[in-house]
Structure 1
Amino acid sequence: MNGNRTLGVVGLGSMGLGAALSALSRGVPTWGCDPRVEVRGRFEAAGGHVAATPAGLAPHCDVVLILVVNAAQTEEVLFGVQGLAGQLKRGAVVVASATVDPALPPQWEARLAEHGVHFIDGPVSGGAKKAAEGQMTVMASGAAAAFEAAGELLEAFAGKVYRLGNRAGIGSTVKMVNQHLAGVHIAAACEAMALGMRAGADPHQLYEVICHSAGMSWMFQNRVPHILAGDYTPLSAVNIFVKDLGIVLDAARKLAFPLPLAAAAHQLYLATAAQGHGGEDDAAVIKFYAALSGLDLPAAQEPSA
């Protein structure tokens, strides 16, 4: 990596912190920004530079990766009172990675262009583990000049960068499809596990068999262990899919395109959140079925002495 160019990461959550630490491990000078003092302190202790606001980070960075929760937070990071716009160097690149309505990135691209700043619509996938390994998948679209300006700094946090088109919005469209599938697959995994346990199957054996059978999905293999361990610490929360499947359904409605599977899954996430589990791991959808049927789920494992 070229040590003369600097990466910034706004949003040091589970994925943002992993991406920032990965860039540091690859020898890339990296700035991190997050409102939480303890998170900034952790990143600084690892050798990173920190800023309390996006505006404070902006002048130091050639590429800024925004890894926040939603469109409203992205807008604030870009154009708020302490935002990036107007503070970034001309020719700098912003990579916006939240899952958002595909209609928004082209608007952000146009507004940043007024400041001489490039924009890449770059949603990501891979979770906290892939982020920490620098192996996230980036579903990127934007002008050729934006990719040229970003150069190898994209490789500081990504394992695979898909260049999906020369305009913003295509990346978010592809991410929307990914979230449709992910949301449906998690809901189906929880429903299937609840059915099997309600019918008397051993959950651990059920998981083992399905993982070696045609019914297996990546989400089944990844999320069911949370259920078996009784651990609903949110790696990706129920509320994330309340938001993301809402984006999917809103976009489909504008196209007059029916999505009955996504709509059913969205209702399951909403129902689980209504039961008070919105902040828990998305595998907590199984708790909705447990409450309906009186099903006893695996208890949390006691820590070993």
Structure 2
Amino acid sequence: MNSPSLPSKVGVIGLGAMGAGIARTLRQRGHEVHVCDIRPEAAEAFAREGGVACASPLEVASQCQIVISVVINAAQTEAVLFGDQGAAAGMAEGSTFIMCSTVAPGWSESMETRLLELGIHYIDAPISGGAAKAASGQMTMMTSARPEAYAAAGRVLDDMAGKVYRLGNRAGVGSKVKIINQLLAGVHIAAAAEAMALGLREGVDAASLYEVITHSAGNSWMFENRMAHVLAADYTPLSAVDIFVKDLGLVLDTARASKFPLPLSATAHQMFMQASSAGFGREDDSAVIKIFPGIDLPGTPPQEHS
């Protein structure tokens, strides 16, 4: 449940599918939202809705006590903070940086230490739920932070999401939970694609198979959501194949550090790697189904099968 919050100046850096929804949600809940994106037109469009467009992370940070980063990975987050016109140079002592990307837990821990040395609070806050839930304020946040960081920015967290899990008093725990979620998401998508591909290979009508599975015990949220994209032949990237190349890579790196076996994750990672190397990396992650030979996908010309 969202707690009442006083209007405040909040910065959002990164206006992709999730970041744009977060920015709109915060503005609708009474905050003055300053934004920037590598695409200036995205920030300008948000300004026309009532937000404030900024030219750089530095400009955002110089005007806001709370800065939210919603970019793809650790490297982009590093650039947001410490690159040319980076936010860290403009953040006042006692301000808060909320990191919403999927990153290695150890990286998040080290970033907390780095920002603490500058007097900046840090919240490890990966997100899940998709663009629609971000836009409606119903996404999930898996957070961990020092108590003083929660004290400074907890109300903004509650205004961003439907569920905010506070998982620990240091950075890293939120990222650990997020990559475990991504383990399941990636394996479920790969399994869904494999099941649909087998049905197509065996000549089962795709729409009928989808109808039966989504009303049977074998269903999963990912089957129901992603195989709908396959039926529609719509591979517009809401979450791209390359996201799971990255995220399942983080899963495997984390497990490898403690010599923990993850056979299903490893197989799913190879499937996404194969799809990416075949040229589908920027397509929707449901495009992993395209690695299977000898099937006629909905919306594509029939193939000759041996």
Report the Cα distance in structure 2 between the residues aligned to 1:92 and 1:225, rounded to whole angstroms.
Answer: 43
RMSD in angstroms over aligned alpha carbons?
Answer: 1.1
Q: Could you tell me whether the CA contact under 8 Å between 2:24 and 2:135 is conserved in 1?
A: yes
- 2:298 pairs with 1:285: no
- 2:273 pairs with 1:270: yes
Deviations 1:72-100 (A, max 9, x none): 00111112231121311221111111111
Q: Could you tell me whether the CA contact under 8 Å between 1:137 and 1:158 is conserved in 2?
A: yes
Tell me which residue corresponds to 1:296.
296
The alpha carbon displacement at 1:3 in A equals 4.7
Q: Could you tell me whether the CA contact under 8 Å between 1:62 and 1:150 is conserved in 2?
A: no
The alpha carbon displacement at 1:147 in A equals 0.4
Q: 2:240 aligns with which of 234, 237, 240?
A: 237
- 2:205 pairs with 1:202: yes
Report the Cα distance in structure 2 between the residues aligned to 1:201 and 1:253, rounded to whole angstroms.
Answer: 40
The alpha carbon displacement at 1:113 in A equals 1.1
- 2:179 pairs with 1:187: no
The alpha carbon displacement at 1:107 in A equals 1.0
Report the Cα distance in structure 1 between the residues aligned to 2:7 and 2:218, rounded to whole angstroms.
Answer: 49
SS at match of 2:89: coil
Q: 2:120 aligns with which of 117, 125, 140?
A: 117
Matched residue type, 1:200:
G
SS at match of 1:119: strand
Tell me which residue corresponds to 2:29.
26
Tell me which residue corresponds to 1:17.
20
Does the C-alpha gap of structure 1 residues 180 and 129 become closer, same or farther in structure 2, counting only changes over 3 Å?
Answer: same
Q: Could you tell me whether the CA contact under 8 Å between 1:237 and 1:278 is conserved in 2?
A: yes
The alpha carbon displacement at 1:156 in A equals 2.4
* Large movers: runs of 4+ above 4 Å: none
SS at match of 2:235: coil
SS at match of 1:141: strand
The alpha carbon displacement at 1:62 in A equals 2.1
Matched residue type, 2:156:
L
Q: Could you tell me whether the CA contact under 8 Å between 2:5 and 2:159 is conserved in 1?
A: no
Structure-to-structure mapping, 1:122-133, within 5 angstroms: 122-133=125-136
The alpha carbon displacement at 1:47 in A equals 0.7
Matched residue type, 2:224:
Q
- 2:228 pairs with 1:225: yes
The alpha carbon displacement at 1:123 in A equals 0.3
Structure-to-structure mapping, 1:208-219, within 5 angstroms: 208-219=211-222
Tell me which residue corresponds to 1:303.
none
Q: Where in structure 1 are there 5+ consecutive unaligned residues?
A: 301-305
Report the Cα distance in structure 1 between the residues aligned to 2:8 and 2:24, rounded to whole angstroms.
Answer: 16
Tell me which residue corresponds to 1:258.
261
* TM-score, length-scaled by structure 2: 0.95
Deviations 1:281-304 (A, max 9, x none): 000011111xx12x111117xxxx
The alpha carbon displacement at 1:7 in A equals 1.3
Matched residue type, 2:299:
A
Q: 1:84 aligns with which of 83, 87, 91?
A: 87
Matched residue type, 2:258:
L
* TM-score, length-scaled by structure 1: 0.95
Deviations 1:37-81 (A, max 9, x none): 211111111111011211010021121111101110011111223
Deviations 1:8-60 (A, max 9, x none): 11101111011101111112111111010211111111111011211010021
Q: Where in structure 2 are there 5+ consecutive unaligned residues?
A: 301-306
SS at match of 1:155: helix
Report the Cα distance in structure 2 between the residues aligned to 1:64 and 1:135, rounded to whole angstroms.
Answer: 20
Report the Cα distance in structure 1 between the residues aligned to 2:64 and 2:5, rounded to whole angstroms.
Answer: 13
Matched residue type, 2:114:
R
Matched residue type, 2:28:
S
- 2:72 pairs with 1:72: no
The alpha carbon displacement at 1:4 in A equals 3.8
Deviations 1:175-195 (A, max 9, x none): 010000000000000000010
Q: 1:246 aligns with which of 238, 244, 249?
A: 249
Structure-to-structure mapping, 1:99-114, within 5 angstroms: 99-114=102-117
